[in-house]
Amino acid sequence: MRLVLFEPDIPQNTGTLLRLAACWNIAVDIIFPCGFIFDDARMRRAGMDYLDAVDLVRHTSWTAYQTWRAANPATAGRLLLLSTKAAEPYQNFAFRPDDSIMVGRESSGVPESVHEAADHRLVIPLRSGMRSLNVAIAAAVVTAEALRQNDFPGL
């Protein structure tokens, strides 16, 4: 299983997701550019001592990520986009161990071309009037369900 961060804006969310990935043995793909300077030294200074335990792949752009996915279909699996614009509730979805769960930018989500490229678009149901969860929380909620359905592979 993989987490995919599309052009993240907030370093604290990225750090939280990297720690989650280290603890649950999940690979992470970060699609650049980020809204902050992302480098190993800064992440370590921010207390991200879990960085060495994460299988982290950095992609210079959305195009580079798509090229990598095409070259690594067994590793990349299906691309599942978490989106407030989706119609399919995550709790009704059958996850597979090779799925890649993507979250968008905190400030603007993902462009329509990314929506179209996703194999599935999933939503987390919310109370009426609420816009969205924080991306790190949303990714954790859905990833926990995906791992549960697959008996927590790798743990």
pLDDT 10s digits, 41-92: 666 555 467 888 899 999 999 999 999 999 999 999 999 999 999 999 999 9
The answer to whether position 14 is within a domain reads yes
pTM: 0.93
- Residues spanned by the domain of 126: 2-149
Helix ranges restricted to H, 87-127: 112-117
The answer to whether position 155 is within a domain reads no
| CATH code of the domain covering residue 44 | 3.40.1280.10
pLDDT at residue 145, rounded to an integer: 98
Structure tokens at 42: 């800064």
The answer to whether position 154 is within a domain reads no
Task: Please give the distance of CA 4 from its chain centroid, rounded to a whole number.
Answer: 3
pLDDT at residue 40, rounded to an integer: 66
Beta-ladder partners of 82? 122
| Domains contained in the chain, number | 1
Beta-ladder partners of 81? 102, 121
The answer to whether position 87 is within a domain reads yes
